[in-house]
Amino acid sequence: MKIRRYLGSNTQEAILKVKMDLGNDALILNTRKVRKKGFLKFFAKPMVEVLAAIDDSAAKKDRGVTQYEVKALGTERENQTGNAAGEKNGKLEQLEKKVASMESMLKKICERMQIPEERLSVSYKEEKQETSAKVLQVFYDNLIKNEVEPEIAKQVIGAASSRIGDNASVNDVASTLYNVISEMLGKPDTIKLKEDKKPTVVMCVGPTGVGKTTTLAKIAASYMLNHKKQVGFITADTYRIAAVEQLKTYAEILGMPVTVIYSPNEMEAAIKNYSDKDIILIDTAGRSYRNKAQLDELKSLVLASGADEVFLALSMTTSPKICKEILNSYSFLEDYKLIFTKTDEALSSGIILNARFFTGRSLSYMTTGQNVPDDIEIVDIDKITKNLLRSII
């Protein structure tokens, strides 16, 4: 297998160089922006670096006559047509060296021909396995760069390694890794409305500052505008300054009612008041994952609501270590789905795979900005998987 780097002023130029050098079977392993070294070059426009790979067999198949070979042929012809008598001795020396080189090559070929077929088969198999191991290492490094926990990355690589055969190509390895990660992420699961015409109660919980209120406003707008459903708001977030006013502003724009409650005892009455709605969305105050008293209060609120759907909101900008602590602190929730916010601010998608692996809970929505109702979408498994591998599959 050949692995090479190419530089271009943009992605198209770099990939064009890959195709010209390695052919159409080349696999793009990684792309990134780089700057030339040196103080003055720091202010220059960054270049695009492409890491590409191709099997040796494919490289030989696509390889044509290069400009260097043409030049070499031209030089040889010039030497053949040269009439200078002073060059004859030099040509004889070159010819002797070529003959000696050919003899050495023939000797090696003869020695190789005497190797038993079984040994040649083992050697080829080991070479293929070594190639697969190198490719798997490249993808393992990409997962770590995407802030995937090492134990999860090792499990992904191990699962892929057990599926690929001895003769697996680079494309086979990449495709297998794609399937492994996609299976781990699972299919997204969104809000399921009741069929008995009773309102579906949906509650959103999570740490402070992850954007729960804005996320609920986006969900409310989507169901009202796109699905023509009647939505009611309940907010228990009376701790954060202007939190109630923020939700009231969204509700006024969307033409939805809002009920404010101050204790779990008021939850039942508030829900009954919206018996004519299709969906009841409950906003909660952000709770520190390190404050047990606040989490106990939230637990009482969840029980009082009897929510049909509970969503745990996580910010994509959260570090892997903090994310794991948050998930552990919210383990009192019997059942919930995962919402990921601030994806437009995140540099990697590792938190999604980490959260899915540690909780086993379904992925649902992800928000991509502050605009209501546009910046929300169902989790795209294909997009996340390719981002984690950082390759063109």
| Percent of the chain with pLDDT strictly greater than 90 | 44
Tokens of 298: 């939230």
How far is Cα 117 from Cα 119, in angstroms, rounded to an integer?
Answer: 5
SS3 assignment, position 52: strand
Among the listed residues 95, 173, 163, the one whose alpha carbon sits nearest the alpha carbon of residue 133:
173
Q: What is the residue-wise DSSP string for 165-234?
A: -TT--HHHHHHHHHHHHHHHH---------SSSPPEEEEEE-STTS-HHHHHHHHHHHHHHTS---EEEE
How far is Cα 205 from Cα 61, in angstroms, rounded to an integer?
Answer: 57
Confidence (pLDDT) at 166: 65
pLDDT (tens digit per residue) in 25-81:
777 777 788 776 554 444 567 788 887 777 666 555 554 444 444 344 445 445 555
pLDDT (tens digit per residue) in 164-198:
876 677 788 888 999 999 999 999 999 999 988 89
Residue written as tokens 């050098």?
21
**Higher-confidence position of 19 and 154:** 154
Confidence (pLDDT) at 319: 92
- Work out the pLDDT band at 115, boundaries 50, 70, 90: very low
Whether the predicted pLDDT of 2 surpasses 50: yes
- Work out the pLDDT band at 151, boundaries 50, 70, 90: very high
Read off the pLDDT of each residue in 113-128 and give the average, rounded to a whole number: 45
Confidence (pLDDT) at 119: 42
Whether the predicted pLDDT of 85 surpasses 90: no
Confidence (pLDDT) at 336: 96
Confidence (pLDDT) at 65: 42
Tokens of 166: 């001895």
Confidence (pLDDT) at 1: 64
Residue written as tokens 């003869």?
110
Residue written as tokens 């009897």?
306
Mean pLDDT, the chain, whole residue set: 81
Read off the pLDDT of each residue in 362-373 and give the average, rounded to a whole number: 90
| Residues recorded for the chain | 393
Whether the predicted pLDDT of 330 surpasses 80: yes
Non-local CB neighbours of 148 within 8 Å, separated by 6+ positions: 156, 350, 353, 354, 388
How far is Cα 365 from Cα 344, in angstroms, rounded to an integer?
Answer: 14
Whether the predicted pLDDT of 352 surpasses 60: yes
How far is Cα 125 from Cα 309, in angstroms, rounded to an integer?
Answer: 52
Long-range contacts of 297-304 (CB under 8 A, 24+ apart): 298/205, 299/332, 300/264, 301/203, 301/236, 301/264, 301/267, 302/203, 302/205, 302/333, 303/264, 304/264, 304/265, 304/267, 304/268
Q: Are strands 279-283 and 337-341 parallel, antiparallel or unpaired?
A: unpaired
Assigned superfamily of 200-380 = P-loop containing nucleotide triphosphate hydrolases (3.40.50.300)
**Higher-confidence position of 177 and 126:** 177
Confidence (pLDDT) at 281: 96
**Higher-confidence position of 183 and 111:** 183
How far is Cα 258 from Cα 252, in angstroms, rounded to an integer?
Answer: 9
Domain spans of the chain? 2-62, 102-185, 200-380
HEC secondary structure over 304-321: HHCCCEEEEEEECCCCHH
SS3 assignment, position 260: strand
Among the listed residues 204, 265, 193, the one whose alpha carbon sits nearest the alpha carbon of residue 233:
204
**Higher-confidence position of 11 and 278:** 278
pLDDT (tens digit per residue) in 225-278:
889 999 999 998 877 667 788 888 888 888 899 999 999 999 999 999 999 999
Confidence (pLDDT) at 284: 92
Type of residue numbered 82: G
Long-range contacts of 121-126 (CB under 8 A, 24+ apart): 125/166
**Higher-confidence position of 7 and 309:** 309
